[in-house]
């Protein structure tokens, strides 16, 4: 059963991703990307990451991509703004070929992975918000704090960059 | 919980606090750029001072180890790099304020972002955990992306920023993938845990870790602009405002090296020579590519950017030899970083000071007859160029000396020879500028060049003196640190890595 | 710790130069103080000359740690060979100043001249390879400045050319030095770049030594220059100001020779002997090649450049002749040629200063206007052509002896030296100085009193060394005997 | 006699020369010094040396075998010492005396000849410097020191030939003299070096060389002998290095008299005599020398027959006479050769001085065909010139007869008949061209109506003295056939060579033959030139007049050839090949850089792709590395 | 030896990652380039979550969560830069932005 869900979700994820890079219309791509994101959220749920499932939907689908769609509309981007890309399939093929060693290496590396754990979680409530919060504030305090700095930087950055042009 | 651990956090904290304070102050109209720069300077100096408290000792402490789960470390090594990075920040503020002031599109947020970048870099060399490093790297990078594109109505700035952003994100993702693979391989992202895992397992079990390490190395190579990941640097350096270019070219590189040295020496201590073969070619190609690129430039900014690729190549020579002679190679890298920091910071700083009025591109031709207009500035510029070229009596020579001798010691004589050839080519493009400054009659440009007054020239002059002192200084003058002192400090820094 | 005599000799000009540069003094003060400094240095070196003992050891040693991590020491010393060149430098420079007196250059010119002096004496006296390299490269900078700023013609191009050319050579030397240092470290476990330590290395293979030998030789061959590394020379000389070309020809080129003897010889004795025939061949070939090329030069400085190259090739042949005659002769010719060429360049400088002409065809009839200059010119010229009674003769004779000992045929060919220089030098003298032409030389002034003191002091030394050479030679003979017997192990030559 | 004074013989002229030079410079720069100061100082030097020479001569006569004075070690290398040494033996003192004597005479003459010249002091400075060098050459104790003098005289010759340096011709002639001499010196140095390496290490003075020279293998010795003789060829203007001497006549006439006739050019002969111990061992080289001498004599005489310049004729005659001398020394008769040096010095100096007097009198006219009829105008010159002409033509009892005849006798007795015949024929030619000169100059009436300049006493007195010399000097070496004792042979006993027995009748008949030969020459000259018709336009041309085009050939082969080679080297090889390679390496590098620069295309996707390729290659590396 | 399901998750994430790279390099549209980067981050997140489950450790999930934060911050900068760029040139084609092209090449 789980395998079937996984297959469906992964199919969606892949289709969405492929669609995202294939569509020439920006809006279509963005919508296609949402499919992937949602599929991934489903996969997180399959992987006992219930909190992440939520976050994925809220942040990605809800915030990031929406923001992007908002920008697209805000800038009033129309079809003619999209660049002409006659060679994009050939390009993709070439990139895919160049990519082969990397993928091979990654697969090979995971195949040789030492047998540390297994894929059946024994821990109860694995992945729920309590456990996550506990771990986050006990074991990952520093990154968590620095993430806030990062967000601050991004905040200033986007203000600086997107602010209306100032007078000389 | 020990409260005196706070002292090891102070450098980081004061920068962070400073950045936030500046962020809050910057929208206030009353605070001019000048005033903000003093605020920034205050926090930087506090940070520098608190960092200097532990100078001269070999120590390694994980402050608030329990709280931070050993993710943060403060040792001589980080202290050493911290001081360079903070100094980079100080110099950028001191020299750059003039530029920021003159090009009135830059606003107060620039100091906030600069301090955030410094914060990210400090964290980068102090973090003992890969994901924290990643965040630190992102903090620094994003600050820099924004700083480059700050003058957003200038298409060159925006373009440089955007290109750097795309490629930098690609590199960051490689880093993240590397971290993930290492996590997959060792079930931890803490450097010490990884090191102990690696030393207790067979190589066959380490495939994931090695691949992950390689991906991190690729990011490192990208950030220091090594071949074949160098293309962005020319565009980003040229696109950025000059003080930011200076900051990027010298300080960021230092921070990156601080991180990768800790990573390779501590983490991959057992495996550090697995990359020697490929890094060998990377080093050679980096030097050759940089030389080719630098030799025909007309814009000085581009020339310095290209030459910074060459200097990356020199550093990689030492990085290659880390595999066989860890200590002296690492020491030589640390020393060379100081040398390069001083020289390139000085050269870029000088350019930014000169260009602050109205030049966007500073070309060779702009310097024709410069020595007749501003003799002292020309002399300082010459010192920086000579140091970059590695002419004796400058710190650049000593740095190259260590690098080459390390290469020969570890059996990479070929690298030393290629390095020599690159140096030889570099003489051409550095001396061309000196020739232009000195050998032509005085031009009609006196009005445009800012006078030799104020803080920026003073700072640049101090750096020139440091370069000379680093090149000839010795222990003859009692109680005054010379070259030996610098080397010993670098050695302490190296040793402190293995105390944790 | 006290400051040693050699340190004083090396660094006094540097200190004075910086002080002068910083203080707001005019050109005249700078010049006068600079001259006084060189005189003081001369007196200091004179005291070394007289206190020099007749041994083959290094004397007046100074030894202080510099970069202890890598065993680099501030290590100075003098032996017979370097002593004679030291005397040469410290004598020539003040005399040269007297000639450059009237050049209306900025004070940077004089400061650079002082810096050059520091560079050359430093390179001459250092016994630590890194220290040597340090000075060797440093002296290039003031030369770069002097030629580039105060030169003429296509000066910028030629300045860059000489700089890049010589730096290329010295960088190869740097690699070789480093390689030796590492080899020493691997063998003995400590770092050192002392010459006396590096010669003890035994682990290097023959191939390695050969490569290192050529690494060193490239640097020196470019500086000297040996065929075919000479093309920078002609352009540089013809575009240099008088002071620059004076320093280049009479001092810096000699340091190339010195470097071979001081470093290459003890470090690679086997290669030195093995490749000696090739270098002797190159030397003798260069002697003829440059000599013939000099014949038809139109620019006086270019002709002198070829002439210098010719003589320097001859000196090179001498030092590779592997016997005491050739090597002492070479040492002697270093001095003789430095004085004579230096003098000629200085005299030519005054001609150029007064007339602004550098092509031979534009001159002529100077002898009538300036008899003293003509006399001085003739005396220097006689030394160049090796007329008996001048030190040029003694040295050329000894080198011919040495080369004859080396190989009879080479010796016979090298005797052509009596013809080579004479042919173009006398022709030059005829066309440029003696014979009157339609050219306007009315602006030509004769030597003033300072110049006369300068040039005739040189002439006196030239003739003194030619008439009583033994008094000068006996100081260097033990050193050269030491080189040949103890280091090269070829014997002094029967 | 203290041997220290040997050094003073050299030093006095040297110091005098320095003083004269300084005074001259003072004079032209600051304040004029009157000529008589120069004259006094200049004349003092050779005379003082002459007196010293005579004193040494007396000392030798009284039984001293030789004087040696070695003031200091000139050079000491590898334990081998070369001293600055002076040797006063019979040969060198003989040379000293006649050099200083002739020198003194010509100094006196020159004081008149150069009167009023702007370079008066300079002239005498050079002159005295020449004396010093010549005396050093003569008195040196080792070949090396001799070489110092040897080159010194060459330098002085150069300086004096190009004395009036504003005229390019003079300087060119001076250069030619110096360079050609240097070619000779090249040979000399080779000989010297070879000698040093084979025997010189045992001691490099003449006595040591003489003692050990037999250790040298004969082929080497032959090489040394030839090489040294090349030096002599240059200095003494023998084939093929004679070309400089005629041109050297560009110098003032006293210079020609002193240097290019009487003294310097005989240095080669002296040198061969000095090395007699060497040449005695290699008679083949001696014969070679003799042949060179004979051919030079003949060749120069032929050229002299058609010359018109009075000094050039004398110059060729000098070459010719020097050839005689080499015949003698080549055949081992060193004393005979030196005897001819001795007599030749008198009559040739006289001839030049006479010619100089004529030139002065005719306001610097040198073409004999523009003279004529001077007998009445300057009778003293006429008489002295006649004496000298007779002497050179070998008419008894004038000095030239005895010396020349002895040389011919030597050749005959050595059974070198070819040389003998050449010598005899040359004697005829000599008489012919000398009397041609004499008749054309003094007889006829070409110049009789024009004004002739006055001659000062200082020019006349040496003429008279030397005329006496030219007449009677031959009696010093009066052959035994006249019942006299050959003073020269006995004085230079060591150099007289093996005694060759000769019948008196044979000797007398040979003498007669040579006298007849001379008279034939005079006769022809008388017929052709005694009443020379100057009105007839003379057209002189042809191969002989143009000196067989030897100068042109040399010029074409050596000078032009070298110049072409020089241009080839500096333009084609240096600039065109070597520098081009250097420069194209650098420009090629820069161009390559421009190509590489295309990678900085500002194309983000290309950059990213490039990165991807990099990552991919890292992956490949790892795949290979990890297996 | 390793469960198929684990490898299938990993494979999926690697595939997504590759697609991201392909999109990043072969497309000219700035937005798609940006989304490709986000896709790659998502792929890594999937990997991290998978590992988290595999190791039965929360670390992977926490990292994944923070990666999302990083992605958000990058998004902010990215999008604001895009806005700035578009204002300047009114083009979404990345190839139109080539003012920094090397001059003076052959």
Are D602 and B171 an interchain contact pair (Cβ–Cβ within 8 Å)?
no
What whole-number distance in Å separates Cα of residue D411 and Cα of residue C402? 42
What whole-number distance in Å separates Cα of residue A47 and Cα of residue A42? 9
| D497 and D404 assigned to the same domain | yes
Structure tokens at D362: 């005719």
Asked if C395 contacts D170 with a C-beta cutoff of 8 angstroms, the reply is: no
Asked if B295 contacts D590 with a C-beta cutoff of 8 angstroms, the reply is: yes
Asked if A132 contacts E61 with a C-beta cutoff of 8 angstroms, the reply is: yes
C-alpha distances in Å from residue B115, one per residue of A110, B87, D414: 40, 12, 112
**Predicted local confidence at residue C316, as pLDDT:** 92
B226 lies in some domain: no
Q: How many domains does chain D have?
A: 3
Average pLDDT over residues D245-255: 86
- Residues of chain D contacting A95 with CB distance shorter than 8 Å: 609, 612
B143 lies in some domain: no
Asked if B359 contacts B370 with a C-beta cutoff of 8 angstroms, the reply is: no
**Predicted local confidence at residue B481, as pLDDT:** 64
Of the candidates C41, C125, C45, C108, the one whose C-alpha atom is nearest the C-alpha of residue C244 is C108
Out of D498, D523, D545, a domain closes at D545
Give the position of tokens 């000491």: D76
What whole-number distance in Å separates Cα of residue D252 and Cα of residue D261? 13
Q: Closest chain E residue to B144 measured between Cα atoms?
A: E77
| A17 and A78 assigned to the same domain | yes
Residue D15 forms contact with C (CB below 8 Å) = no
B441: containing domain = 275-500
Asked if B396 contacts B307 with a C-beta cutoff of 8 angstroms, the reply is: no
pLDDT along chain A (168 residues), means of 10: 82 91 86 90 86 87 85 80 81 90 88 70 72 84 89 88 64
What is the enclosing helix (H) or strand (E) of D85? strand D80-88
**Predicted local confidence at residue B478, as pLDDT:** 47
| D264 and D358 assigned to the same domain | yes
Q: How many domains does chain A have?
A: 3
Percentage of chain B exceeding pLDDT 70: 94
Are A105 and D609 an interchain contact pair (Cβ–Cβ within 8 Å)?
no
Phi/psi of residue C378, each to 5°? Answer: -65, -40
B115 lies in some domain: no
Residue B307: DSSP 8-state: H
Phi/psi of residue D545, each to 5°? Answer: -60, -40
| D535 and D577 assigned to the same domain | no
**Predicted local confidence at residue A116, as pLDDT:** 61
Q: What is the pLDDT of residues D275-294, one digit of tens each?
A: 888 888 888 888 999 999 99
Using the predicted structure, report yes or no on whether residue B489 has a pLDDT greater than 90.
no
What whole-number distance in Å separates Cα of residue A89 and Cα of residue D107? 108
Q: For residue D447, give the 3-state DSSP assignment.
A: coil
| Contact yes or no, B with A (3+ CB pairs under 8 Å) | yes
Are C65 and B475 an interchain contact pair (Cβ–Cβ within 8 Å)?
yes
Asked if B88 contacts B143 with a C-beta cutoff of 8 angstroms, the reply is: no
| Cα of D627 to nearest chain B Cα, Å | 10
Of the candidates B205, B174, B200, the one whose C-alpha atom is nearest the C-alpha of residue B269 is B200
Using the predicted structure, report yes or no on whether residue E2 has a pLDDT greater than 60.
no
Ranges of residues in chain C whose predicted pLDDT is under 50: 1
> Please, which pLDDT band fits residue B447 given cuts at 50, 70 and 90?
low
Are D168 and C430 an interchain contact pair (Cβ–Cβ within 8 Å)?
yes
Query: B377: Cβ–Cβ under 8 A, 6 or more apart, which residues?
Result: B350, B354, B370, B449, B452, B457, B460
Using the predicted structure, report yes or no on whether residue D142 has a pLDDT greater than 60.
yes
Query: C214: Cβ–Cβ under 8 A, 6 or more apart, which residues?
Result: none
Residue D70: DSSP 8-state: E
Asked if B285 contacts B227 with a C-beta cutoff of 8 angstroms, the reply is: yes
Buried (b) or exposed (e) across C419-448, using 16+ Cβ within 10 A?
bbbbbbbbbbbbbbbbbbeeeebeebbbbe
Please, which residues 54-93 of chain A have a Cβ atom closer than 8 Å to chain D? 91
Phi/psi of residue B34, each to 5°? Answer: -60, -50
What whole-number distance in Å separates Cα of residue D224 and Cα of residue D272? 12
Interface probe, candidates C321, C422, C466, chain D, greatest D C-beta count within 10 A: C422
B124 lies in some domain: no
Interface probe, candidates E25, E34, E104, chain D, greatest D C-beta count within 10 A: E25
Are A122 and E56 an interchain contact pair (Cβ–Cβ within 8 Å)?
yes
H and E: helices and strands count for chain D? 25, 2
CATH annotation of E4-93: 1.10.287.3510
Other chains touching C, judged by 3 or more CB pairs under 8 Å: B, D
| D560 and D513 assigned to the same domain | no
A155: containing domain = 125-168
What whole-number distance in Å separates Cα of residue C189 and Cα of residue C178? 15
| Cα of C148 to nearest chain B Cα, Å | 5
Q: Which member of A47, A95, A107 has the closest CB to residue E22?
A: A95
- Neighbour-count burial of A79, counting CB atoms closer than 10 A to its CB (0-12 exposed, 13-18 middle, 19+ buried): exposed
**Predicted local confidence at residue C1, as pLDDT:** 43
* Domain residue ranges of chain E, discontinuous segments joined by +: 4-93
Using the predicted structure, report yes or no on whether residue B5 has a pLDDT greater than 80.
no
Of the candidates C51, C128, C114, C33, the one whose C-alpha atom is nearest the C-alpha of residue C87 is C51
Q: Closest chain A residue to B107 measured between Cα atoms?
A: A160
Q: For residue D179, give the 3-state DSSP assignment.
A: helix
| A50 and A34 assigned to the same domain | yes
Using the predicted structure, report yes or no on whether residue B284 has a pLDDT greater than 90.
yes
Are A161 and E53 an interchain contact pair (Cβ–Cβ within 8 Å)?
no
Query: D448: Cβ–Cβ under 8 A, 6 or more apart, which residues?
Result: D372, D373, D376, D377
Structure tokens at D595: 């190509």
Q: Which member of C141, C156, C167 has the closest CB to residue B424?
A: C167
| Cα of D588 to nearest chain B Cα, Å | 11
Residue E95 forms contact with D (CB below 8 Å) = yes
Q: What is the pLDDT of residues D20-78, one digit of tens each?
A: 988 888 888 888 888 888 888 888 888 999 999 999 888 888 887 888 888 888 888 87
Q: How many domains does chain B have?
A: 1
Are B167 and D625 an interchain contact pair (Cβ–Cβ within 8 Å)?
no
| D561 and D439 assigned to the same domain | no
Other chains touching A, judged by 3 or more CB pairs under 8 Å: B, D, E
Q: Which member of B278, B291, B292 has the closest CB to residue D621?
A: B278
Of the candidates B398, B201, B438, B415, the one whose C-alpha atom is nearest the C-alpha of residue B322 is B415
Using the predicted structure, report yes or no on whether residue D374 has a pLDDT greater than 90.
no
What whole-number distance in Å separates Cα of residue A54 and Cα of residue D443? 141
| A101 and A166 assigned to the same domain | no
**Predicted local confidence at residue C104, as pLDDT:** 67
**Predicted local confidence at residue B3, as pLDDT:** 65
Q: Closest chain A residue to E86 measured between Cα atoms?
A: A75
| D19 and D150 assigned to the same domain | no
Of the candidates C422, C446, C295, C306, the one whose C-alpha atom is nearest the C-alpha of residue C360 is C295
**Angle value at C-alpha B65, between B61 and B66, nearest 5 degrees:** 160
**Predicted local confidence at residue B360, as pLDDT:** 55
**Predicted local confidence at residue D448, as pLDDT:** 61
**Predicted local confidence at residue B176, as pLDDT:** 92
Structure tokens at B234: 């020319």
| Cα of C156 to nearest chain B Cα, Å | 7
Q: What is the pLDDT of residues C303-319, one digit of tens each?
A: 888 999 999 999 999 99
Residue D590 forms contact with E (CB below 8 Å) = no
Percentage of chain D exceeding pLDDT 90: 8
Asked if C145 contacts C114 with a C-beta cutoff of 8 angstroms, the reply is: no
C-alpha distances in Å from residue D604, one per residue of B161, C333, D511, D519, E89: 12, 64, 112, 110, 16
Q: Closest chain A residue to E56 measured between Cα atoms?
A: A121
Are E106 and D594 an interchain contact pair (Cβ–Cβ within 8 Å)?
yes
| Contact yes or no, E with B (3+ CB pairs under 8 Å) | yes
> Please, which pLDDT band fits residue B30 given cuts at 50, 70 and 90?
confident
Q: What is the pLDDT of residues B332-351, one digit of tens each?
A: 888 899 889 999 889 988 88
Q: Which member of B392, B402, B420 has the closest CB to residue C172?
A: B420
| A69 and A2 assigned to the same domain | yes
Residue B341 forms contact with C (CB below 8 Å) = no
Give the position of tokens 């999937």: E46
Provide the CA D512 distance to its chain's centre, in angstroms: 33
| D564 and D431 assigned to the same domain | no
What whole-number distance in Å separates Cα of residue D562 and Cα of residue D553? 13
Average pLDDT over residues D504-532: 85
- Residues of chain B contacting A109 with CB distance shorter than 8 Å: 181, 185, 207-208, 210-211
Are B207 and A113 an interchain contact pair (Cβ–Cβ within 8 Å)?
yes
Q: What is the pLDDT of residues B356-380, one digit of tens each?
A: 766 556 788 888 888 888 888 888 9
| A33 and A71 assigned to the same domain | yes
Query: B490: Cβ–Cβ under 8 A, 6 or more apart, which residues?
Result: B80, B330, B331, B334, B335
Residue A95 forms contact with D (CB below 8 Å) = yes
D574: containing domain = 553-626
| A18 and A68 assigned to the same domain | yes
Are D622 and A95 an interchain contact pair (Cβ–Cβ within 8 Å)?
no
Are B222 and D597 an interchain contact pair (Cβ–Cβ within 8 Å)?
no
| Cα of D621 to nearest chain E Cα, Å | 19
| A2 and A78 assigned to the same domain | yes
| A53 and A32 assigned to the same domain | yes
Are D609 and A95 an interchain contact pair (Cβ–Cβ within 8 Å)?
yes
Are E48 and B183 an interchain contact pair (Cβ–Cβ within 8 Å)?
yes
| D442 and D478 assigned to the same domain | yes
Average pLDDT over residues B53-67: 78
Q: For residue D199, give the 3-state DSSP assignment.
A: coil
> Please, which pLDDT band fits residue D198 given cuts at 50, 70 and 90?
confident
Of the candidates C106, C104, C86, the one whose C-alpha atom is nearest the C-alpha of residue C44 is C86
């Amino acid at each position: 059963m789980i395998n079937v869900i996984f297959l469906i979700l992964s199919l969606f994820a892949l289709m969405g991703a492929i669609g995202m890079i294939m569509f020439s219309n920006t809006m279509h791509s963005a919508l296609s990307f949402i499919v992937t994101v949602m599929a991934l959220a489903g996969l997180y749920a399959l992987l006992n990451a219930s909190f992440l499932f939520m976050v994925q939907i809220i942040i990605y689908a809800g915030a990031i991509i929406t923001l992007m769609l908002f920008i697209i509309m805000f800038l009033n981007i129309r079809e003619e703004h999209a660049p002409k890309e006659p060679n994009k399939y050939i390009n993709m093929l070439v990139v895919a070929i160049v990519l082969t060693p990397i993928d091979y290496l990654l697969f090979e590396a995971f195949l040789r992975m030492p047998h540390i754990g297994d894929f059946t979680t024994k821990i109860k409530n694995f992945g729920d918000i309590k456990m996550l919060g506990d771990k986050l504030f006990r074991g990952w305090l520093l990154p968590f704090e620095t993430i806030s700095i990062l967000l601050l930087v991004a905040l200033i950055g986007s203000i600086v960059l997107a602010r209306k042009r100032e007078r000389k | 919980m020990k409260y005196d651990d706070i002292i090891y956090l102070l450098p980081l904290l004061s920068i962070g606090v400073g950045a936030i304070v500046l962020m809050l102050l910057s929208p206030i109209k009353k605070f001019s750029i000048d005033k903000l720069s003093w605020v920034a300077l205050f926090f930087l100096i506090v940070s520098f001072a608190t960092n200097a408290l532990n100078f001269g000792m070999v120590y390694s402490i994980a402050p608030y180890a329990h709280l931070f789960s050993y993710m943060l470390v403060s040792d001589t090594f980080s202290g050493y790099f911290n001081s360079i990075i903070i100094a980079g920040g100080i110099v950028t503020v001191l020299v750059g304020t003039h530029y920021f002031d003159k090009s009135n599109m830059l606003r107060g947020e620039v100091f906030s972002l600069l301090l955030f970048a410094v914060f990210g870099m400090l964290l980068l060399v102090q973090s003992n955990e890969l994901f924290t490093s990643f965040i630190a790297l992102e903090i620094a990078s994003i600050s820099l992306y924004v700083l480059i594109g700050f003058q957003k109505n200038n298409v060159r700035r925006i373009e440089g920023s955007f290109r750097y952003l795309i490629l930098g994100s690609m590199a960051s993702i490689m880093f993240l993938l590397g971290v993930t693979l290492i996590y997959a391989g060792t079930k931890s992202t803490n450097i010490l845990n990884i090191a102990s895992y690696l030393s207790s397992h067979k190589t066959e079990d380490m495939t994931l870790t090695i691949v992950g390490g390689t991906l991190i190395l690729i990011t490192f190579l990208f950030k220091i602009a090594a071949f074949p990941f160098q293309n962005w640097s020319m565009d980003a350096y040229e696109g950025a405002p000059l003080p930011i270019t200076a900051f990027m070219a010298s300080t960021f590189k230092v921070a990156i090296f601080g991180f990768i040295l800790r990573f390779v020496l501590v983490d991959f201590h057992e495996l550090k020579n697995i990359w020697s073969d490929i890094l060998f070619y990377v080093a050679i190609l980096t030097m050759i590519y940089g030389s080719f690129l630098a030799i025909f430039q007309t814009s000085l900014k581009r020339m310095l950017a290209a030459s910074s690729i060459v200097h990356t190549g020199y550093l990689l020579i030492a990085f290659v030899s880390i595999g066989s002679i860890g200590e002296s190679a690492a020491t030589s890298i640390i020393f060379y970083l100081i040398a390069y920091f001083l020289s390139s910071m000085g050269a870029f700083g000088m350019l930014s000071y000169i260009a602050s009025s109205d030049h966007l591109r500073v070309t060779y031709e702009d310097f024709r007859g410069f020595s007749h207009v501003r003799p002292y500035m020309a002399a300082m510029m010459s010192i920086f160029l000579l140091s970059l070229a590695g002419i004796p009596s400058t710190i650049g020579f000593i740095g190259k000396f260590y690098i080459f001798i390390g290469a020969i010691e570890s059996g990479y004589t070929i690298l030393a020879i290629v390095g020599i050839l690159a140096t030889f080519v570099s003489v051409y493009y550095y001396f061309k500028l000196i020739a232009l400054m000195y050998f032509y009659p005085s031009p009609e440009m006196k009005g445009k060049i800012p006078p030799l007054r104020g803080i920026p020239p003073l700072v640049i002059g101090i750096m020139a003196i440091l370069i000379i002192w680093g090149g000839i200084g010795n222990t003859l003058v009692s109680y005054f640190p010379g070259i030996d002192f610098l080397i010993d400090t670098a050695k302490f820094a190296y040793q402190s890595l293995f105390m944790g | 710790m006290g400051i040693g005599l050699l340190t004083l000799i090396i660094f006094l000009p540097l200190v004075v130069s910086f002080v002068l540069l910083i203080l707001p003094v005019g050109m005249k003060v700078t010049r006068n103080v600079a001259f006084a400094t060189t005189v003081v240095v001369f007196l200091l070196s004179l005291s070394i000359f007289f206190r020099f003992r007749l041994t083959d050891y290094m004397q007046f040693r100074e030894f202080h740690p510099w970069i202890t991590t890598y065993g680099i020491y501030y290590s100075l010393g003098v032996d017979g060979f370097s002593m004679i060149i030291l005397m040469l430098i410290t004598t020539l420079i003040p005399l040269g100043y007297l000639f450059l007196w009237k050049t209306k250059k900025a004070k940077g010119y004089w400061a650079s001249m002082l810096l050059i002096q520091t560079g050359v004496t430093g390179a001459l006296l250092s016994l630590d390879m890194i220290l040597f390299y340090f000075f060797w490269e440093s002296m290039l900078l003031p030369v770069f400045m002097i030629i580039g700023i105060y030169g003429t013609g296509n000066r910028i191009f030629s300045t860059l050319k000489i700089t890049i050319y010589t730096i290329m050579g010295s960088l190869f030397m740097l690699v070789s030095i480093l390689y030796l240092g590492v080899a020493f470290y691997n063998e003995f476990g400590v770092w050192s770049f002392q010459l006396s330590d590096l010669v003890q290395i035994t682990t290097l293979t023959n191939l390695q030594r050969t490569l290192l030998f050529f690494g060193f030789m490239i640097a020196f061959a470019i500086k000297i220059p040996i065929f075919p590394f000479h093309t920078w020379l002609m352009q540089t000389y013809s575009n240099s100001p008088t002071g620059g070309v004076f320093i280049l020809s009479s001092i810096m080129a000699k340091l190339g020779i010195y470097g071979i003897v001081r470093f290459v010889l003890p470090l690679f004795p086997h290669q030195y002997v093995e490749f000696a025939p090739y270098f002797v061949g190159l030397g003798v070939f260069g002697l003829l090649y440059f000599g013939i090329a000099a014949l038809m030069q139109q620019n006086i400085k270019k002709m002198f450049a070829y002439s210098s190259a010719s003589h320097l090739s001859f000196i090179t042949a001498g030092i590779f002749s592997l016997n005491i005659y050739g090597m002492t002769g070479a040492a002697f010719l270093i001095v003789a040629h430095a004085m004579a060429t230096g003098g000629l360049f200085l005299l030519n400088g005054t001609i150029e200063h007064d007339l602004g002409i550098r092509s031979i065809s534009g001159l002529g009839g100077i002898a009538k206007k300036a008899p003293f200059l003509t006399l001085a010119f003739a005396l220097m010229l006689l030394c160049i052509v090796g007329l008996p009674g001048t030190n040029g003769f003694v040295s050329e004779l000894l080198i011919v002896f040495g080369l004859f000992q080396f190989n009879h045929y080479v010796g016979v060919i090298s005797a052509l030296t009596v013809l080579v220089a004479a042919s173009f030098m006398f022709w030059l003298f005829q066309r440029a100085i003696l014979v009157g032409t339609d050219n306007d030389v009315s602006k030509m002034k004769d030597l003033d009193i300072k110049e006369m003191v300068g040039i005739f002091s040189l002439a006196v030394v030239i003739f003194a060394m030619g008439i009583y050479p033994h008094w000068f030679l006996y100081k260097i003979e033990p050193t050269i005997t030491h080189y040949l017997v103890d280091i090269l192990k070829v014997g002094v030559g029967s | 006699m203290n041997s220290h004074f040997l050094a003073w013989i050299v030093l006095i002229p040297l110091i005098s020369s320095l003083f004269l030079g300084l005074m001259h410079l003072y004079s032209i720069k600051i304040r004029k010094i009157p000529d008589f100061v120069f004259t006094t100082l200049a004349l003092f030097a050779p005379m003082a040396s002459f007196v010293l020479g005579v004193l040494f001569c007396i000392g030798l006569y009284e039984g001293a075998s030789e004087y040696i004075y070695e003031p200091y070690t000139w050079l000491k290398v590898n334990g081998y010492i070369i001293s600055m040494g002076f040797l006063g033996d019979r040969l060198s003192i003989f040379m000293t005396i006649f050099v200083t004597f002739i020198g003194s005479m010509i100094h006196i003459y020159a004081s008149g000849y150069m009167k009023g010249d702007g370079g008066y002091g300079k002239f005498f400075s050079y002159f005295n410097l020449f004396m010093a060098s010549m005396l050093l050459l003569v008195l040196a104790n080792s070949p090396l020191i001799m070489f110092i003098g040897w080159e010194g005289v060459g330098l002085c010759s150069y300086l004096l030939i190009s004395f009036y340096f504003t005229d390019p011709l003079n300087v060119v002639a001076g250069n030619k003299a110096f360079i050609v001499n240097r070619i000779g010196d090249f040979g000399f140095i080779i000989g010297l070096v070879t000698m040093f390496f084979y025997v010189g290490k045992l001691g490099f003075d003449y006595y040591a060389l003489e003692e050990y020279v037999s250790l040298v293998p004969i082929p080497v010795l032959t090489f040394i002998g030839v090489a040294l003789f090349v030096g002599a060829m240059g200095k003494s203007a023998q084939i093929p290095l004679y070309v400089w001497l005629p041109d050297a006549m560009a110098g003032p006439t006293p210079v020609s008299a002193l240097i290019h006739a009487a003294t310097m050019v005989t240095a080669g002969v002296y040198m061969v005599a000095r090395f007699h111990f060497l040449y005695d061992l290699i008679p083949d080289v001696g014969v070679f020398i003799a042949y060179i001498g004979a051919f030079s004599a003949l060749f120069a005489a032929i050229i002299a027959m058609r010359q018109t310049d009075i000094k050039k004729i004398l110059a060729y005659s000098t070459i010719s006479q020097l050839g005689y001398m080499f015949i003698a020394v080549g055949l081992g008769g060193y004393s005979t050769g030196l005897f001819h040096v001795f007599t030749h010095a008198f009559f040739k100096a006289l001839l030049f001085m006479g010619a100089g007097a004529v030139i002065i009198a005719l306001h610097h006219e040198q073409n004999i065909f523009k003279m004529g009829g001077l007998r009445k105008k300057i009778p003293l010159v006429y008489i002295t010139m006649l004496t000298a002409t007779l002497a050179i033509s070998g008419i008894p009892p004038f000095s030239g007869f005895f010396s020349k005849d002895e040389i011919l006798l030597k050749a005959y007795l050595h059974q070198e008949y070819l040389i003998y015949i050449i010598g005899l024929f040359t004697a005829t030619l000599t008489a012919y061209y000398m009397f041609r000169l004499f008749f054309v100059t003094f007889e006829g009436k070409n110049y009789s109506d024009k004004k002739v300049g006055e001659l000062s006493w200082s020019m006349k007195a040496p003429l008279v003295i030397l005329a006496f010399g030219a007449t009677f000097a031959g009696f010093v070496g009066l052959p035994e056939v006249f019942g006299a004792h050959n003073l020269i042979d006995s004085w230079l006993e060591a150099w007289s060579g093996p005694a060759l027995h000769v019948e008196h009748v044979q000797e007398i008949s040979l003498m007669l033959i040579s006298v007849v030969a001379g008279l034939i020459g005079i006769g022809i000259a008388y017929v052709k030139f005694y009443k020379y018709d100057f009105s007839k336009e003379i057209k002189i041309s042809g191969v002989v007049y143009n000196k067989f085009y030897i100068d042109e050939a040399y010029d074409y082969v050596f000078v032009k050839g070298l110049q072409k080679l020089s241009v080839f080297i500096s333009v084609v090889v240096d600039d065109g090949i070597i520098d081009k390679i250097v420069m194209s390496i650098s420009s090629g590098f820069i161009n390559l850089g421009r190509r590489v620069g295309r990678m900085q295309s500002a194309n983000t996707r290309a950059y990213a792709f490039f990165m991807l390729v990099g990552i991919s290659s890292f992956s490949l590396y790892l795949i290979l590395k990890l297996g | 030896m390793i469960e198929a399901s684990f490898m299938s998750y990993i494979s999926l994430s690697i595939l997504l990652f590759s697609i991201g790279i392909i999109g990043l390099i072969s497309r000219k549209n700035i937005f798609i380039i940006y989304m490709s980067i986000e896709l790659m981050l998502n792929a890594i997140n999937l990997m991290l979550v998978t590992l988290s489950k595999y190791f039965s450790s929360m670390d992977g999930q926490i990292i994944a969560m923070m990666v999302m934060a990083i992605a958000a911050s990058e998004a902010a900068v990215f999008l604001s830069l895009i806005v700035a760029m578009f204002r300047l040139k009114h083009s979404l084609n990345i190839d139109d932005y080539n003012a920094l092209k090397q001059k003076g090449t052959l």
